[in-house]
Amino acid sequence: MRGVALIGCGAIGSVIAKAIDEGQVNAVLLYVMDADKSRAERLATSLRNQKPTIATSVEEIANDPRVEIVVEAASQEAVIQYAEALLAAGKELVVMSVGALLRPEVRPLLAKYKSRIHVPSGALGGLDALKALSLVGIESVELVTHKHPSKLADEPYVRQKGLNLEGVREPLVVFEGTAEEAVRAFPRTLNIAASLALASGATVKVKMVADPAVHNNVHEFVARSRAGTLYVKVENLPHPENPKTSYLAALSAVELLRSLCTTRC
Ligand SMILES: NC(=O)c1ccc[n+]([C@@H]2O[C@H](COP(=O)([O-])OP(=O)(O)OC[C@H]3O[C@@H](n4cnc5c(N)ncnc54)[C@H](O)[C@@H]3O)[C@@H](O)[C@H]2O)c1
């Protein structure tokens, strides 16, 4: 069984911890950590079979040789804060806040430790085919995300621009830019733009549409290459127990962890 630590005990972190607790993942959960310690404590006490320690610093996790895999399900800032210490200590890192991997301060880590940084497919699909197409070069990747206007109100970009989306009756493009710009503008919602950029090696054009006709987030991308054109569209439903989470994103993290824990056991 592989030793796992979890950073971020919110919606996705809770789903991952529960999957380990219920034996879906062949691992032992050694640590949980959260900037809000009470969340880590609440999660730890909710588990039946696992008895993780509440970590109070990343060094505690980095210095414990039993920890082989660290799952980040926190924020882009958490990746910036902790990734280097964990990777330098030889840990494998599963990154949910993929947008951080496009940030200039994290890019060098990606080059140095690429084989130990794992990115789940998240709220999207088709990344395997995208990686295959990248072997012959990808001409273009375009991502369009449709989100209900009410769900965009808390996004940094919408607040900074002072956009009032309350009266929107028709689909309205609120943002257009590259993946690098998208993950800064929408750090919670557009991690998938980073996943596409990393899988394709191409420049990704991103649009965010405030769309009163959609209730669930819809992500759609088209990738063109001389080996074929890939069209992928995903409508994300909320997790039944954690409505804040994309069900698929949480499942993709569990599935990635399952495979990491199966191949080495
Ligand atoms: N890759 C994808 O497709 C995808 C899909 C959905 C969510 N995400 C990302 O996954 C991450 C987790 O999502 P969630 O829905 O579980 O969020 P959440 O807000 O429910 O939980 C995040 C938890 O992490 C903690 N946290 C934040 N920054 C921290 C830090 N620097 N150090 C320690 N703890 C910290 C918070 O206190 C919170 O408890 C987010 O960054 C989100 O954008 C990625």
CATH classification at residue 256: 3.40.50.720
Tell me the CA end-to-end span of the chain in Å, nearest whole number.
Answer: 6
Query: What is the residue with the minimal CA distance to atom 40 of ligand 1?
Result: 75
Report how many domains make up the chain.
2
Q: Does 183 fall in a domain?
A: yes
Rounded distance between C-alpha atoms, residue 99 and residue 189, angstroms = 10
* Residues 65 and 88 grouped into a single domain: yes
143-164 per-position pLDDT tens digit: 999 999 999 988 889 989 998 8
Q: Which domain holds residue 147?
A: 127-235
Query: 99: Cβ below 6 Å to ligand 1?
Result: no
Distance from residue 66's CA to the centre of ligand 1 (Å) = 24
178-216 per-position pLDDT tens digit: 999 999 999 988 999 999 999 999 999 999 999 999 999
* Residues 227 and 252 grouped into a single domain: no
Query: 194: Cβ below 6 Å to ligand 1?
Result: no
Q: Does 26 fall in a domain?
A: yes
Q: How confident is the model at residue 265 (pLDDT cuts 50, 70, 90)?
A: very low
- Look up the pTM and report it: 0.95
Q: Does 11 fall in a domain?
A: yes
* Residues 60 and 111 grouped into a single domain: yes
Q: Does 241 fall in a domain?
A: no
* Residues 144 and 195 grouped into a single domain: yes
b/e per residue 195-225 (b: at least 16 CB within 10 A): bbbbbbebebbbbbbbbbebeebbbbbebbb
